[in-house]
Homo-oligomer: A and B are copies of this chain.
Amino acid sequence: MARGEFDTIAALYVPLTRGDPAALGLRDDAARLRLSSRDELVVTTDALVAGVHFLDRDPPADIARKALRTNLSDVAAKGARPIGYFLSVARPRSWTDARMDAFARGLAADGKEFGVPLLGGDSTGTPGPLTLSITALGKVRRGGMLLRAGARPGDDVWVSGSIGDGAIGLLVARRELPHLAGKHRRMLLARYRVPQPRLALGRALVGVASACMDVSDGLVADLGHICSASKAGATIELDAVPFSQAATAAISARPALRKLAISGGDDYELLFTAAPAARAKVLKAARAGGVPVARIGHIHAGAPIVLVEDRQGGILRMARTGFTHY
């Protein structure tokens, strides 16, 4: 999900935080409120617009589930347990009662799957496209919240699951990969439409990971966000990045997709750093989280730039939001 604009107009919004530490400088996808001596409250908000973040003709239940799951993914990346969510809906006339029923069924299914209740919201008509805003609340033990800041030179860089399925899945949704095998197309489409928030892994990484976020803008751009917040650089070993069988098949047929896979968005996997001494703990957390993790690079001192090394030792230098030179 595009969070870019909030970044670019941070100059506009950061003064509005009035220096409240709970806002974390608006740099961390979430706010942290200390409301009791034991727990911290994590609050995260995402806006989604038809035609921008999803296609209006996507199945309504999938739209609902993706909206909720992308928020739960932010909660997961903070190491928190979700408490509930608030939903704002601006609904165009073309969204009939039948479509809204299907939308609500999607929320009901995921509410059950993740044990997350709707706690409130608002609904209104709009002459524009379907526009959603979800605010999710989570709880984490005091001091445990995972942040973008905290990666230290020498730390390993890890990622959960597989990378690139979301971006390649969007191409499938746009019918741009008609020659790919049906089973691969279905898998990639499902990954694009219904991401998997890594809640159990996130919780297991509390006290283990030095920095963490979810991959929504793309692996390289998001590692750049960790670098900026942590005031360090990073190197990704391209061959170590985990691709699914379906993504591998798509990349084999069209090699340029490898670049898309690491720079596109919508993965909603956890991207995190941890000291080399914590490798066994990371693997234990992955078992607890029920998802594989891969060590894909390391953090080093220096400017917050992400380098991508390929097999031959060549270096693809990438800016925060894409390739600048290679």
Verify if A275 is at the interface (C-beta below 8 Å from B). Answer: no
Verify if A126 is at the interface (C-beta below 8 Å from B). Answer: yes
Verify if A290 is at the interface (C-beta below 8 Å from B). Answer: no
Q: Which residue of chain B has the shortest Cβ distance to A19 in the bound complex?
A: B117
Verify if A171 is at the interface (C-beta below 8 Å from B). Answer: no
The one of B86, B90, B108 in contact with A43, judged by C-beta atoms closer than 8 angstroms, is B86
Verify if A309 is at the interface (C-beta below 8 Å from B). Answer: no
Verify if A144 is at the interface (C-beta below 8 Å from B). Answer: no
Q: How far is the CA of A15 from the CA of B46 in the complex (A)?
A: 23
Q: How far is the CA of A115 from the CA of B20 in the complex (A)?
A: 11
User: How often does this chain occur in the complex, in copies?
Assistant: 2
- Taking a contact as CB atoms under 8 Å apart, the answer to whether A31 and B133 are in contact is no
Chain B residues near A129 (CB, 8 Å)?
126-128
- Taking a contact as CB atoms under 8 Å apart, the answer to whether A124 and B49 are in contact is yes
Q: How far is the CA of A262 from the CA of B70 in the complex (A)?
A: 43
Give min CB distance, A46 to chain B, whole Å: 5
| B-contact 0/1 string along A82-98, CB 8 Å cutoff | 01101111110000000
The one of B13, B41, B49 in contact with A118, judged by C-beta atoms closer than 8 angstroms, is B13
Verify if A137 is at the interface (C-beta below 8 Å from B). Answer: yes
Verify if A26 is at the interface (C-beta below 8 Å from B). Answer: yes
The one of B49, B91, B100 in contact with A125, judged by C-beta atoms closer than 8 angstroms, is B49
Verify if A256 is at the interface (C-beta below 8 Å from B). Answer: no
Chain B residues near A91 (CB, 8 Å)?
5
Give min CB distance, A261 to chain B, whole Å: 24
Verify if A45 is at the interface (C-beta below 8 Å from B). Answer: yes
- Taking a contact as CB atoms under 8 Å apart, the answer to whether A52 and B133 are in contact is no
Verify if A317 is at the interface (C-beta below 8 Å from B). Answer: no
| B-contact 0/1 string along A107-143, CB 8 Å cutoff | 1100110010111111111111101010101010000
Chain B residues near A281 (CB, 8 Å)?
none
Q: How far is the CA of A15 from the CA of B106 in the complex (A)?
A: 12
Give min CB distance, A284 to chain B, whole Å: 30
Please report which residues of chain A, range 16-64, place their CB below 8 angstroms from some CB of chain B when the two chains form the complex.
16-20, 22-23, 26, 30-31, 33, 35-37, 39, 41, 43-49, 51-53
Give min CB distance, A148 to chain B, whole Å: 14
Q: How far is the CA of A179 from the CA of B129 in the complex (A)?
A: 39
The one of B47, B84, B135 in contact with A20, judged by C-beta atoms closer than 8 angstroms, is B84
- Taking a contact as CB atoms under 8 Å apart, the answer to whether B123 and A9 are in contact is yes
Q: Which residue of chain B has the shortest Cβ distance to A53 in the bound complex?
A: B124
- Taking a contact as CB atoms under 8 Å apart, the answer to whether B127 and A51 are in contact is yes
Verify if A104 is at the interface (C-beta below 8 Å from B). Answer: yes
Q: Which residue of chain B has the shortest Cβ distance to A12 in the bound complex?
A: B104
Please report which residues of chain A, range 249-267, place their CB below 8 angstroms from some CB of chain B when the two chains form the complex.
none
Q: How far is the CA of A3 from the CA of B2 in the complex (A)?
A: 28
Verify if A101 is at the interface (C-beta below 8 Å from B). Answer: yes
14 contacts between A and B (CB under 8 A): A2-B124, A5-B125, A6-B123, A13-B87, A18-B118, A23-B118, A33-B119, A36-B36, A45-B120, A45-B133, A46-B88, A51-B127, A52-B125, A127-B128
- Other A-B contacts than A18-B112, A52-B126, 4 sampled, CB-CB below 8 A, are A5-B91, A22-B117, A33-B83, A45-B121
